[in-house]
Structure 1
Amino acid sequence: MILLASLFALQLSARSVWFMRSIFRGIVVLGGGLGLAGVAAPLVEVGITLSIIVLGLVVAFNTRSPVAAAMGLLGIFALFHGRADGTEMPGGLSSVIYALGFIAGVILLHALGEAFARAIVSIDDGHGPIATRTDCGFTAFSGLGVGAGVL
């Protein structure tokens, strides 16, 4: 998800990366807090599966959208991912310690995902964009398999 989100941001514009990174991190942490607080959220797994399918297709088809719409889409998906992660806290662990680790993990994974996305996008061997878009198409297809319970 983080790699797909980073690739999506990079295909829109260099400026959008900062906005989308901030929105994603903030809302995934908000979702994690909701999960820690035990706030019920319907269809979390469906939202996570849709995030893989939709973002895979968006990158595969090199979809251009207004940055505000892209931020909204990423925000919705980040809320689902954060909510799911927030409910994963092991019993007996301090919620403060878990939250701090969760926030550090989000920042680290997002930085790595963005760095990897930038490395992928910088490949200029004549096949980089096609290979990336094809891989994202396969990612979307695998999301369908996950959603159908096949994978």
Structure 2
Amino acid sequence: MKKLLTLAAGLLISLPSFAHEGHHHGLSEGLLHPLTGLDHLIALSLIGLLASQTGKLKLSLAQSVFALIVAAVVASMGFVPPMLETGLAISLLVMAVLVAKVLPKAASLAGLAVCLVAALHGAAHGNEVPAGADMKLFFAGFIASSIALISGGYLLGKAVQKSTYGQKITRTIAGFAGAFGVTALVA
């Protein structure tokens, strides 16, 4: 886990070195994409937060990365799910409900939700590859940032669980995420 976070931090810190013309075209865009889209930032962080509650970070990371990659590749080839933006907004609501523990959740329901959320966001990533970007580098960048966000959500969740107000903090985070999902849905 420490190696993964160190790698992600190193990649993010080294972004200025990618500013030179002709170097790694696509990597910096891929690294930044999940960080600049608030819906991606929230969804991936919620996946990590949910993983902290279930104690299944490795499984959540594996499911998420697999779904992100498959959906991104398919979307980059021209197949984009209909009503993708609506699906992205609904995915935030679903994750917010799961993280807030409003409904009792089975591990299979959480795993399915993680896969669907990651697939929707992967499709959005694949659909938004900048023109002329090196696809492999773009995908490597967005996967690295996605792993960092999921891991960050996991660490946040573990820290919050140690707090006296852990459940209230978690529900507040989920509430803000759900509110953003509703806003995106009606916009």
State the partner residue of 2:24: none
Structure 1: give runs of 5+ residues left out of the alignment.
Answer: none
* Residue 49 (str. 1) matches residue 89 (str. 2): yes
Residue 67 of structure 1 and its aligned partner are, at CA, apart by: 1.4
Deviation string, structure 1 residues 91-124 (Cα, Å, up to 9, x no partner): 111212212222222222222222222222222x
Distance 1:30 1:122 in 2: 36
Residue by residue over 1:29-48, the C-alpha shift from the partner in whole angstroms, topping out at 9 and shown as x without a partner, is 21111122222311211111
**Structure 1 match to 2:143:** 103
Residue 182 of structure 2 aligns to a residue whose secondary structure is helix
1:130-149 equivalences in 2 (<5 Å): 130-149=168-187
More divergent stretch after superposition (75-84 vs 98-107): 98-107
For 2:99 and 2:147, how far apart are their aligned partners in 1? 22
Letter in 2 for 1:139: A
Decide whether the 8 Å contact of 1:3 with 1:117 is kept in 2.
no
Q: 1:3-30: per-residue Cα shift (whole Å, max 9, x none)?
A: 212222222x32x332222111210121
TM-score normalised per structure 2: 0.70
8 A contact 1:4–1:55 mirrored in 2: yes
* Distance change >3 Å, CA 4–CA 88, structure 1 → 2: same
TM-score (norm 1): 0.84
C-alpha distance in structure 2 between counterparts of 1:65 and 1:17, whole Å = 16
Contact in 2 for aligned 1:52/1:143 (Cα 8 Å): yes
Structure 2 counterparts to residues 28-39 of structure 1, below 5 A? 28-39=68-79
What 5-or-longer segments of structure 2 have no aligned partner?
1-42
SS in 1 for 2:68: helix
Q: Give the counterpart of 1:80 among 96, 120, 132.
A: 120
